[in-house]
């Protein structure tokens, strides 16, 4: 395997976990962060105590706060920044990103102000680039512990998807390829909203039946919006769709589920976010997806209910009642047409 000079922008739990993977795979890894205190702590203790306190980092992973130095000579740049900060970081530091660098996004969300996925933000800010997105059912804690995990690398060009596959894949991290960039991005973003709803149901005290219903109808909503935005249904049946939805709705590693549990227990959104202590992508994504549904005239009842709980202060039990008493439906009438995705070499 060829060794690459890789810069990861963002030293949260996922960026740090992927740094351990790439270092294990023999690449030279620089981990960029804003906090000088965080950098010094990593250098001293080889632990990112705020995000992955139980993982000892290799001393060959180099933490850096100076973006110019971090990006110097990088041939791969990984975006592990919270979605709502991606544009501002790219605007500020794009002059330091080498023109030939391969850009891989690993964040999951939709920009609130524009309702764009990250591939579109990258295109607007950096122009046409070699680009791929990495997604799928993957808690950072488990990846850093080298527990078996499977992901998907998506790009409009097969060569770029396979390049990302080769960067990350090893004996404990298996990576598939996919041509459906918009589908993988939407699935990764939308599942956070549904997982927040699953957490609310857990917080109220509803049982497994309710969660199974929410997840099943949730994947239908995800596919419904994806269909009108040009995605393939196959993607939502895969790792970035149902796979990521399962893991995010059922695990306490999930920030979205944990925040939802707190809201279901009666805490405000602000209190829940403060208690979780890290970015909860589903909160901002819920607003963007609600507005996308209106823009595309798509019915997303679960997402709409979560939006109203978060942004219109609707009582959570009233929201559930409204979902349960909607007009009668035939499950099969909502299956949408599959769209094949063309893949350039």
- Residue positions annotated with a catalytic role: 191
At 7, is the secondary structure helix, strand, or coil?
strand
Q: Which residue has the tokens 């000892």?
A: 56
- Helices within 205-280 (DSSP H only): 208-228, 233-236, 244-250, 255-264, 269-276
How far apart, in whole angstroms, are the C-alpha atoms of residue 291 and residue 30?
A: 37
Q: What is the residue-wise DSSP string for 87-155?
A: HHHHHHHGGGS-TTPEEEE------TTT---HHHHHHHHH-S--EEEEESS--HHHHHTT--EEEEEE-
How far apart, in whole angstroms, are the C-alpha atoms of residue 10 and residue 34?
A: 8
Within 13 Å of residue 185, how many CA atoms lie on the same side as its CB?
Answer: 27
Q: What kind and span of H or E run contains 166?
A: helix 158-168
Structure tokens at 111: 């920009």
Give the chain's length. 345
């Amino acid at each position: 395997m060829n060794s690459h000079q890789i810069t990861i922008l963002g030293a949260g739990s996922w960026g740090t976990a992927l740094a351990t993977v790439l270092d294990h795979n023999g690449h030279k890894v620089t981990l960029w962060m804003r906090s000088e205190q965080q950098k010094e702590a990593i250098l001293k203790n080889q632990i990112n105590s705020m995000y992955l306190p139980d993982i000892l980092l290799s001393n060959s992973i180099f933490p850096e706060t100076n973006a110019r130095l971090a990006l110097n000579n990088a041939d791969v740049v990984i975006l592990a920044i919270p979605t709502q900060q991606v544009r501002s970081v790219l605007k500020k530091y794009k002059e330091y990103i080498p023109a030939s660098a391969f850009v891989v996004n690993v964040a999951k969300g939709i920009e609130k102000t524009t309702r764009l996925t990250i591939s579109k933000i990258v295109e607007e800010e950096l122009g046409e680039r070699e680009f791929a997105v990495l997604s799928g059912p993957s808690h950072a804690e488990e990846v850093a512990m080298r527990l078996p995990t499977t992901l998907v690398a998506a790009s409009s060009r097969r060569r770029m998807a396979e390049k990302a596959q080769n960067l990350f894949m090893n004996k404990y991290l298996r990576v598939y390829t996919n041509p459906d960039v918009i589908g993988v991005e939407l699935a990764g973003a939308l599942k956070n909203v549904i997982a927040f709803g699953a957490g609310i149901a857990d917080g109220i005290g509803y049982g497994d039946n309710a969660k199974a219903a929410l997840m099943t109808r949730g994947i239908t909503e995800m596919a419904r919006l994806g269909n009108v935005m040009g995605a393939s249904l196959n993607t939502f049946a895969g790792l970035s769709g149902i796979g990521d939805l399962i893991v995010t709705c059922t695990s306490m590693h999930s920030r979205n589920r944990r925040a939802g549990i707190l809201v279901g227990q009666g805490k405000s959104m602000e209190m829940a976010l403060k208690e979780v202590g890290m970015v909860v992508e589903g909160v901002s994504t819920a607003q963007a997806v609600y507005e996308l549904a209106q823009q595309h005239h798509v019915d997303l009842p679960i997402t709409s209910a979560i939006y109203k709980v978060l942004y219109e202060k609707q009582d959570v039990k009233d929201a559930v009642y409204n979902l349960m008493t909607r007009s009668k439906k035939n499950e099969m009438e909502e299956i949408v047409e599959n769209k094949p995705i063309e893949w350039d070499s």
